[in-house]
Amino acid sequence: MSEIKIDLMTKRIASHIRNQIFTNELREGEKVVEHKIASQVGTSRGPVREALTILENQGLIIRIPRRGAFVVKINEQDVSEIYTLRLAVEQLAVKMITDRENVPPLTRLQTICDDIDQLLSDDTANKIALAELDMKFHHELVFLSGNARALSVWENLAMVSFLLSIRGRSHGNERNIEIDHQKLIDLLNSKKTDEAVQILTHHLGTTRKILVNEFLEKKGGLSEQEGLTREFQDTLNLSSELEEFNSSARSVLNGSR
């Protein structure tokens, strides 16, 4: 079998396992049984192992020596770290886009935003489809920065971010996603950097707080007052973490400019 066919098969198997994780057919902490997956896709265990390496690099799988591969378990600390890093990268992207003499065409961003608006017009909107469009929007935002290293950092966080999006409960915040995206596009076109960063910070920060509170509720309950206190503290923590992170992230990510 040619290397191209092996590569395509590996990617197909990785996609198969990934879909099982996203649909919760494979649950958090569950062992991924190689021979079972091989049987499902009609192949040997070798390509399955290669596919698991891809998923491990994407943060969806962890390998434990002498025990095997398991679906990753995510906690509130993971959420905090992922969204702090995502925000730092996307803030840099906004600044790189607006720093250019001419803002690059935002046609693709607008198309995705319009697709989200159309999807939300349907009361039975598919949560996975909405999460996919949201991730596409943010991917395009970082892509438009022209910074390959920033894009690479973002893509390493993409699959776990997507998993969090589809496993989190619906909070009636979906329409705000589209509204924030449209505001961001308008501000980018107007080269209003500070306001665009502010919208982005609120947008991702809100999602971060919602997800962190969900994890805390699952661990033992969170009263309404505790939730409000936690939200306020999260805001302070996010600002502090970003201030510390940005000083080092700028030197690394700007290296490809």
Residues 53 and 112 in one domain: no
**Among 108, 85, 92, 107, residue whose Cα is nearest residue 204:** 85
pTM to 2 decimals? 0.79
133 and 246 in a single domain? The answer is: yes
Q: Which of 20, 38, 71 is the last residue of a domain?
A: 71
* 231 lies in the same domain as 131: yes
Cβ burial, residue 117 (10 Å; 0-12/13-18/19+): middle
What was the pLDDT predicted at 169?
57
Distance of CA 58 to CAs 52, 53, 174, 254, Å?
Answer: 10, 9, 26, 23
88 and 121 in a common domain = yes
Q: Are residues 138 and 231 in the same domain?
A: yes
Number of domains the chain contains: 2
The H helix count followed by the E strand count for the chain is: 10, 3
What range defines the domain where residue 197 resides?
Answer: 76-256
Q: Are residue 246 and residue 201 in the same domain, yes or no?
A: yes
Q: Which residues of the chain have pLDDT under 70?
A: 1-6, 123-125, 169-173, 220-257
Q: Which residues contact 132 (CB under 8 A, 6 or more apart)?
A: 162
Query: Do the beta carbons of residue 88 and residue 249 sit within 8 Å?
Result: yes
d(CA 73, CA 226): 24
- Do 62 and 103 fall within a single domain? no
Q: Which of 20, 45, 71 is the last residue of a domain?
A: 71
Distance in Å from the first CA to the final CA of the chain? 40
121 and 229 co-located in one domain: yes
What's residue 170's pLDDT? 54
- pLDDT value at position 133? 94
Half-sphere exposure of 196 (CA within 13 A, CB side): 22
Strands of the chain, DSSP E: 31-32, 61-64, 68-71
Which pLDDT does position 144 carry in this prediction?
A: 96
Q: What is the CATH number of the domain that holds 14?
A: 1.10.10.10
> Is there a single domain that holds both residue 47 and residue 154?
no
Angle at 83 (CA atoms; ends 57, 182), nearest 5 degrees: 115
